[in-house]
Each structure stands twice: as structure tokens, then as C-alpha cells.
Structure 1
Amino acid sequence: MLEVHSIILHPYSLACLLFIFVTRWFFFNSARNKNLPPSPLKIPVVGNLLQLGSYPHRSLQSLAKRHGPLMLLHLGNAPTLVVSSADGAREILRTHDVIFSNRPDSSIARRLLYDYKDLSLAPYGEYWRQMRSICVVQLLSSKRVKLFQSIREEETALLVQNVELFSSRSLQVDLSELFSELTNDVVCRVSFGKKYREGDSGRKFKKLLEEFGAVLGVFNVRDFIPWLGWINHLTGLNARVEWVFKELDRFLDEVIEESKANRVCVNEDKMNFVDVLLEIQNNSTDGASIA
């Protein structure tokens, strides 16, 4: 009678075999890509992410000295081309500008910016060209910029008054804070028709802007290693993003409704950016669809 011997692999043995398989797959897969730029050795799953360190610009400079001015990094699943020379940058931006015109996909930016409906992150194409045309011709034309001159002058005068007030009382002046408020007030008046600084609405707006910038700049593991995206649920990042999106959406709805209510009594010379965009949406003068 034949005796059947069962072979039981220890869990650690399975883990080691899996690690060896993944490592060999990464190395052999890289070896087949003969036409790619030089690349540092990468770790399975995370690629070269750990090599960036706390100061990525210094790490990239150090890696470029070893691997050349044109270098390929693998940030998780995202291949990233690093160009460290003026000639290389000129070649990319002039000759191959269309290929490299789009920004890397970001799940957080996609959510907060309504599937990339903004100008800065919208993919290059017809929609982006329409939005750029609206900005250049309607929002930032020399005529429109001149119409906003009084707003800039008024807010600058208030800044000077605040500096004089602090100086007369021998108090310290935080110029960074004052210039930040100046920029915020000018942008809000030009865009929405009023300032958002004082009172409860001002505090909410400031908190919303801070959270918006924070979640846009946070490291999102899902963008580099998609199958680890569930970690965002544990860290609360997804909940933060949803809160910012809902608050931003509510704020923009209020601004639009207020602008619609006041459009009847608004002269062309007093129109803010929202008024101009609503006018374009109603008249479709540029053939663009603004939702």
C-alpha cells in the first residue's frame, strides 16, 4: 500500500515564496524594458517611494547624480520620469509637450474638483481649451483687470492703514498674515463680490480653505498603490475629503444663488467672476458648456 505523505507549508514559508516570486517578477519585468531611462533598484510593491525620504528634492538630486539627468522612478504603481537638466526639460516642454501636458491622476483632486472641471488640473483637450479661452477673453482680459483696479486699490489702502495702526501702538506686525488677508480679500471680492473674513461665515470659510489645501496636499496611498486604498478608511482621510467636498459644494451653491438673485441690479462694470460665468452659461457666447 502506498503511503500518502501530506506536505504542510508553514505560513512563513508561503510568505517567503511569495516575496521571492514578486521580487523576481519585478526584476525580470524591468530587464525587458530596454528602451526606458535608467532607474534605481526598486522594492516590490512600493517601488522607489522609500528612497524619496523627508526631503524629496535632495533625494532626487542625489539619485540623478548616479543615474543621469533623465531617470525613471517607480512610485508604487506610478512610473515617474525625473528630468534634472535644462536641455531635457526643454525637450519635454517644447517637443513632447502634448504627451506630458496632463497632470498625474489624483483621486482626491478628482473628487474635490468635480472630476477635473477646473482649469489647472483639467486634462488637455477641447474642454481645457474652452476654459482657457474663457479665462483669457472674459475673466482676465485687460478690460476686466482694469475694472477691478478699484478693488485692489481699496484693499491695499486698508493694508497700509492697518500697518500704520500697529506702528502707532508700537505693536508687532505680521506682514505674512496681512498680505495673506490682502490676497484673500481681493480674490474673494473679484470672484464672489464680497469678502469672507469677519464673523461666523469668515471663520467657516477660512477653515474650509485650510482643509481644502490640506487634503489636496496629503499623501494618498491609493494613488500609488491602489489596492491599499482601504487604508484611507482607517485613517479617516476619505471622511475628511467627503466633508470638504460637501462643505465646498454647499458654499458654491450659496454663492451662485446669491449671484443669481442680484443679477438684475448688477451693472456690467460691477460684475464679478461668478456673474460673468453665469452670463456665459445663459448666453453660450463661447460655445462652452458650464455646469
Structure 2
Amino acid sequence: MELDLLPWKLSVIFPLLIIFLIKKWKKKSDVNLPPGPKKLPVIGHLHLISNLPFRSFGDLSRQYGPIMHLKLGEVDTIVVSSPEIAKEMLKNNDPIYADRPESIAVNILWYKYEDIVFSPYGHYWRQMRKICVIELLSPKKVRSFRSIRKDEVTRFVESLRFSAGEPVNLTDMVHSVLSSIICRAAFGKVLKDKEALMRLVSVALELGTGFLLADMFPSSVIANAVSWSTKRRLMMMRSKIDAIFDDMIHEHETNRGGNGEFGNEDLVDVLLRVKESGEMDFPIGYGHIKAVILDMFSAGSETSSSALDWVMTELMRNPLAMAKVQAEIRQVMKGRSHTDIEEEDIQKMKYLKLVIMEAHRLHPQATVIPRKSRESCQINGYTIPAKMRVLVNAWAIQRDPKYWTDPETFKPERFLNEPTMDFAGNDTRYMPFGSGKRVCPGIAFASASVALPLAQLLHDFNWKLPHGVDAQALNMIEHFGITSCRKDKLFVIATPYQPLP
């Protein structure tokens, strides 16, 4: 009897299912999304995206407009390539766009978003951000670490003097120096496993972009199965990071308080004290502490070292700018009985600041600023639904000829007449550290970590490329990741500068 009813049941259920799907499709099609190219079945617009997505987004925006809708696999994505629309989203409608999109690699490596950079916008994020700003990233704290920066830069200079006249891998040397600075400032000393952690973090930043196959096809059993080897690799990396951080935390718990170089608490001491106090609205555990430590190390070492590497590369390609900035630095230091540059001296080096700003314009560390909408909102006449992934293409905005004269050329002087532009992204034509509530809180720390070593290197040495290397032939393509470092490493020859008597 039951079998006799089956055709009848199917005859009722099947039409209802069709009506439901039609209504669902119609409801979705009624949403006034931004324009975009025609998509293919299943993959959407993935066939239009290269290994450097921000470059592909820039090319597509010239055809489809400054706000586009793309379907990246299953994931609906809004790409913004205009400072006006970026301002409307990141500043005028903040915090609607203050969330971060999810990523498998970030979920695994950053302890299920228990950090600051990737955690959802809300009270926990504000609580942890406040702790880190007060204990490490405030202007007062940044100034207090000047002796650490100076000491590490002095060691760096001495190692270059030892290798004078020989080609050196400046990229790796800069990376090592800046990671030592962040270790000593945040963790009290240079980690014994620093080199291993540097390698792990570099891979983590490469994989955490949200462009893994399983990120783009989250409901696909096949995509998740194919991605299992990557997930396994991520879990092994997380285990290695855990081991390094567990040793650090155990050492801090054994030597309670005063692990900072100056006998005070360092960041890990503070986080352990907060954990044990239980006084925070959102209690924290070891996972939260390790996630924040990973934030501090990755942001403090990877972004600053990459920025310094880009500056030096651009100066090698632009000898007039190199000569001008070196002349300024050496004029400021002229007549000094010693050549150690103090951070007060850097305030007098106006052209140096312009050089750094221009390098950040051409090579922002956050090429794409990733956000996720927290609720539906009207932007530029279009409807951006809730939980939509939004990518603000800072790389394209900062190279747009509509806002920049001769945008592909390295011209530090362009910022002389741009008083509204700063590193905080208040003018959304220029957002090297993001903009809005989720702007990078470590701008002061990063700026000091780049300016001092750069000024000292430019003062103490004359620079040239190894024999047979053409400056104009240097590869300026990026290695895509959460931060955007140069794909090739910079090898240079440093010759000690001898001032005239």
C-alpha cells in the first residue's frame, strides 16, 4: 500500500520543490547587485582570475566599473576599486563592513579566529586590540623600544661592513633583523626558534588569502576532499607553531613578570596576567594568547621587512631618488661626532618620509583589504547583501591614473602637495595600512621599524647591484599572500660611505 502512494507523493513534492527553487532564484535575482562579467557554470568567474588576483581585479574593474560582483566558485564577492566607494564602505558605513571573511588556513593557523587581525568585529576584538595597543603599539610604547631598534640596526650595519664589497641577500637580512626587533619588543628576547617561526609564518601568510579550493567551494565534498592534503599540512604547521609558543609561554609562567628587556612586563606577561585575573568580559585562554602572539610576529616582521625590501628595490631602480635621499640624510648627520642616527634625526628627513610613502603606494602590504558585510546595505545605488565578501583593491586604487599622475612611476615628490594623505587611510586614495575601524593598529611600530634601519643603511653605505644585473630588469612582480612581498630576493653590494674631511 505504501508503494502505491509513492507516485502520488512524488507528484505533489516535485512541483512544490520546483516552485521553491524558482522563488529562491527569483528572490536572489531581484537583488540589485553590482555589474560583472558573464560567468561560467560551477566555477563562476575563476577563469578570469590570475595567480595575482588584485591585478586581475584591476583589469576587470576598467571594463565593469569601480564596484563589481564576481562569483568566485560558490562565493559571491564584491570588488571595490574606487576611493569614493571605499570611503562609503570602510568609513561612512563602518562597522557594517568591519568583519573579516573566513578562510580555512586562517581558521586552522590563527586558532579559530581568536586573534585580533582576523577575529569577528565585536567586544572581544575591541578588548584584545586595546590590550595590544596599550602594551605594545601605542606611540609611548613604540618610543620606549628605541634602544632595541638601535641595537639591532647596529648589529645589522656591522654585519654589512664585514661583507663589504660582496653581494649580500638584503631581503633575508632585513627580515631577520626586523623579526628580532619584534621578538625583543613583544616577547622579551629573540626566540631560539625564530628562524623556524619565520618560515612557518611566511607560508601561513601565503595560504591564508581565502583562495584555496575548499574556500571557494565550501559546500563541495570533492573540493574538501581534494584540499585534505593542504589541510593536513596546515595542521602540521599549526602543531609546530604551537610547540614554539608553548615553550615561550612556559618560560614566561616559570619566570613570572619582568620578562621584558627593561625589567617590566612584556606582552606575553600581560596576556598571562589577564588570563589568570578572570576580570575581562571575555575570558582568554592559551589559544587566545598564542593567536595574538602570531599576529604580532607576523605583522611586525613580515609586513615591515617586505616594506623595507620594496623601498630599497625602488631606490636601486631610481638612482636620482637614491642620491637625493642619501644627500638629505648625510646633511642632517653632517658634523656629528658619531654616525648613529637617532629617531629625532629622522623627523628632519622629510624626503625620506616621501620615499617610504611612495613605496607603500606602489607596493601596499595589503594589496586587497578583505571585509565581510554584517548586514544588507545600499552602496553606490546597489544592494550589498549581508555576509557578502567584499574586497577593496588598494593596489588598483593606488595606481589609478584618475587619481595619480604617471601612477606606475616611482615619484616621492608627488606627496608634497597631498596633505590629506597619511598611513591611517583617512584619504581613501591611499590606504597602505587599511582604513576604518579595522585599520592596522601597528602603524607607529611599523613606521619606526622601517624608517630607522632604512636611514642608517642609506647613510652608512653606497649601494649597487651585483655585476651584470640591470636595475631596470629587476623583477617587480609580487608574491601573493596576505602580505605582498616581492617575488624575487634583492641581492646588493654595500660599500661603506667615507665622508669628506
TM-score interval w.r.t. the shorter chain? 0.7 to 0.9
Give the distance between the partners of 1:99 and 1:270, measured in 2 at CA: 39
Cα distance in 2, alignment partners of residues 171 and 31 from structure 1: 63
Equivalent residues of 2:103, 2:209 under 8 A apart:
no
Residue 191 (str. 1) matches residue 183 (str. 2): no
User: CA offset at residue 98 of structure 1?
Assistant: 1.8
Q: Which residue of 147, 150, 155 corresponds with 2:147?
A: 150
Question: Is 1:278 aligned with 2:272?
Answer: yes
Please name the residue that 2:349 is paired with. Answer: none
Greater RCO structure (CA 8 Å; 6+ sep): 2
Label 1:66 to 1:146 Cα distance change in 2 as closer, same or farther (>3 A). Answer: closer
Q: Give the Cα–Cα distance (whole angstroms) in 1 for the partners of residues 64 and 203 of structure 2.
A: 38
How has the CA–CA distance of structure 1 residues 105 and 266 changed in structure 2, closer, same or farther, with 3 Å as cutoff?
closer
- Answer yes or no: is the 8 Å Cα contact 2:73–2:216 preserved in 1: yes
**Deviation of residue 97 (structure 1)?**
2.2
Q: Contact 1:108 / 1:241 at 8 angstroms: preserved in 2?
A: yes
> Matches of 1:206 and 1:180 in 2, distance apart?
9
Kindly report which structure 2 residues correspond to 1:225-264, keeping only aligned pairs within 5 A, or say none: 225-226=217-218, 227=220, 228-233=223-228, 236-263=229-256
The residue type paired with residue 189 of structure 1 is: R
Which whole-Å CA distance do the structure 1 matches of 2:72 and 2:155 have between them? 47
Matches within 5 A, 1:1-291: 32-167=29-164, 170-196=165-191, 201-217=193-209, 219-226=211-218, 227=220, 228-233=223-228, 236-263=229-256, 266=259, 269-284=263-278, 287-291=281-285
Q: Is the 8 A contact 1:215 1:240 kept in 2?
A: no
Q: Distance in 1 between matches of 2:67 and 2:257?
A: 57
5+ residue gaps, structure 2, are 1-21, 286-501
With over 3 angstroms needed to count, the CA separation of the structure-2 counterparts of 1:30 and 1:182, relative to structure 1, is farther
* Counterpart code for 2:215: D
Length-normalised TM-score, structure 2: 0.48
Is the 1:134–1:286 Cα contact (8 Å) retained in structure 2? no
Residues 51 and 146 (structure 1), Cα distance of their counterparts in 2 relative to 1, 3 Å cut: same
The structure in which a higher percent of residues are helix is 1
After TM superposition, give the deviation of residue 64 of structure 1 in Å.
1.9
1:139 and 1:276 in contact (8 A); partners too: no
**Which of 130-139 and 248-257 deviates more?**
130-139
Note the alpha carbon deviations across 1:170-206, whole angstroms, 9 max, x for none. Answer: 3223322221111011111222222236xxx455334
Whether the aligned pair in 2 keeps the contact of 1:47 and 1:74 (CA below 8 Å) is yes
Q: How many residues align?
A: 260
1:82 counterpart SS class: strand
CA distance in 2, matches of 1:194, 1:54: 37
Segments of structure 1 that go 5 or more residues without pairing to the other structure are: 1-24
> Whose Rg is larger?
1
Q: CA RMSD in A?
A: 2.7
Q: Secondary structure at the match of 1:243?
A: helix
Is contact 2:135–2:266 with CA below 8 Å preserved after alignment? no
> What is the percent sequence identity of the aligned residues?
33
For the structure 1 residues 94 and 215, does the alpha-carbon distance in structure 2 shift closer, same or farther, using more than 3 Å as the test? closer
Distance in 1 (CA, whole Å) between partners of 2:237 and 2:271 is: 23
Aligned partners of 1:73, 1:266: CA distance in 2, in Å?
49
Q: TM-score, normalised by structure 1?
A: 0.79
Structure 1 position 70, deviation (Å): 1.5
Confirm or deny: 8 A CA contact 2:66 2:80 kept in the other structure: yes
2:91 alignment partner AA? R
Aligned to 2:403: none
